[in-house]
Amino acid sequence: MAVITISSSTGSIYLNIIFNGDFLEDRDISIAVRIADSSGSGVEEFVKIPKIQYDLNSLEVRTILELQQLQSLTRGTLFIVIYSPKNPSFKLIGFVQARVTCDIFDTILTPEDVQAVSSGIAWVYPLPDGSWSYNVLLPDEHKPTSIKMETGRKVLEDLPLNFANNTTRDIVSGMSSRYYQLLYEGSLYLNVVTTKSNLRGRLVYRGFGDAQLSDAPMLLVPGNKTHTALRAQGLLWIGIDNDCGLNYQLTLSERPQREILRLEVMEMPGLHRMGLPVRSYVLADIETSDYEGIFPDIQKISFAHVKAGDALFKVVGLNDSSILASAVIKNVRVPPNCLPDNVVNPDYTLEHDDDVSLPVNNYRCAYD
């Protein structure tokens, strides 16, 4: 048995292989691991195993695959051979089968004129029966007229146009192995034509992680005080794990050159606009357009605001503290153990005949 993790962007592969066999001696031996395609082209690594056993042995291998082997992976023709260099005729062979149901592909749908028109986002993931779930989220200004799946400028599929509140969640079946190959190669595009513009984006692989525990990603919209020559928009995933860590993964369409950006989460943005103090968390300072991380120090009351959709994710430029892009955090599941207990103090009693009343409140209070 082998557990395999592959990064399609770098071609790196990690294998954890468990095997047994009729080994004559309890001693250190060398094992060869070969990863190849149907043509025989591939890579080979040698690993020394101390005190090899009959019942169970484990070894780890890290290496880099060429594009040809990555393409073979999508076709199901990539295989692994384990053998002893001293006796190559005794070997174990197995084909690598991708578990595509654990993968998500997303993109920022960029308009032809990014200065005048807002972007959208889309995400696609294969289902166990071979069909694909495709999802599109557009700003209110867009009225979609068609959705096409394409590569280069060749249209592969016209997808059903079932939008409600500028969002579609639909399924397309009959996806061939060629489509899977294009998807994992990063050669598949979604093209959404609207009454406002032509939106297009290349689907990029995202391994399913804790940031994808939420129902859907969020659209990062440009801030009101961003640079006139820059209109940063983006895609944001947020998920809360069982240890109450806030996991996030974001992609920006563009960013200011040579400027550090700060990622923040702020609760109750409405009260903040009124000038009232609110809690805010600095997640990280970044210098890239793609970033993922985890922040472990969110208070439980703040998670209650996140669950209620009363929190804001901000991308702030450190040079002038302007908001480059932001998104209201919504549709995020929060584990019950990360929320306030809401348990009444056991010494508290409420008597119906108590004639002590609260003073008349003629002013507003802001509190948690």
What SS3 state is found at 252? strand
Asked whether residue 344 carries a pLDDT value surpassing 60, the answer given is: no
Asked whether residue 314 carries a pLDDT value surpassing 90, the answer given is yes
Q: Both tokens of residue 89?
A: 């005729």
pLDDT at 345: 53
What pLDDT is stored for residue 356 in this prediction?
Answer: 44
352 pLDDT above the threshold of 80? no
Contact 91, 81 (CB under 8 A): yes
- pLDDT category, 69, cuts 50, 70, 90? confident
Cβ distance 333 to 210 under 8 Å? no
Q: Residues 348-357: what's their mean pLDDT?
A: 48
- CA diameter of the chain: 93
* The pLDDT value given to residue 343: 53
What's the mean pLDDT when you consider all of the chain? Answer: 80
CA distance 72 to 39: 10
The confidence band for 359, taking pLDDT boundaries of 50, 70 and 90, is: very low
What is residue 23's predicted lDDT score, i.e. its pLDDT? 59
Q: Which pLDDT value is given to residue 10?
A: 62
Per-residue pLDDT of 16-33, as tens digits, reads 777 766 555 566 777 788
The answer on pLDDT for 259 being more than 60 is yes
pLDDT value at residue 338: 93
Handedness of CA 25, 27, 32, 33 (dihedral sign): positive
CA atoms of 199 and 69, how far apart (whole Å): 33
What pLDDT is stored for residue 311 in this prediction? 92
> In this predicted structure, what is the pLDDT of residue 361?
46
Instruction: Give me the pLDDT at residue 291, please.
Output: 93
Would you give the distance in Å from CA 161 to the centre of its chain? 25
Band of pLDDT at residue 140, cut at 50, 70 and 90: confident
pLDDT in tens, 124-133: 988 877 788 8
- Residue of higher predicted confidence among 89 and 2: 89
Output the six-digit token pair for 25: 């001696």
Query: Any idea how long the chain is?
Result: 368
At 249, the pLDDT band (50, 70, 90 cuts) reads: very high
Cα 123 from Cα 117, distance rounded (Å) = 20
Tell me which range, 31-40, 63-72, 184-193, is most confidently predicted by mean pLDDT: 184-193
pTM check: above 0.75:
no
Q: What is the DSSP letter of 186?
A: T
Token pair 């348990």 is found at 343
* pLDDT for residue 66: 78
Instruction: Check residue 342 and give its pLDDT.
Output: 65
Give me the mean pLDDT over the 34-47 stretch. 80
For the residues 302-312, what does the mean pLDDT come to? Answer: 91
The set of residues, in sequence order, having a beta carbon less than 8 Å from that of 346 and lying 6+ positions away, is none
Buried/exposed 206-227: b ≥16 CB within 10 Å, e otherwise: beebbbbbbebbbbbbbbeebb
Separation of alpha carbons 340 and 254, rounded Å: 38
Decide: 223 and 326 in contact? Cβ < 8 Å.
yes
Between residues 325 and 58, the one the model is more confident about: 325
Angle, in degrees to the nearest 10, between helices 177-185 and 67-75: 140
Read off the pLDDT of each residue in 269-290 and give the average, rounded to a whole number.
84
pLDDT value of residue 96: 74
Select the more confidently predicted residue: 31 or 282: 282
Helices (H), 16-111: 67-75
Rounded CA-CA distance 105/88 in Å is 40
pLDDT surpasses 50 at 360: no
Output the CA torsion sign for 249, 254, 255, 258: positive
Residue 322's closest CA among 278, 260, 244? 260
Burial of 152 (0-12, 13-18, 19+ CB in 10 A): exposed
In the structure, what pLDDT confidence band is assigned to residue 150 with cuts at 50, 70 and 90? very high
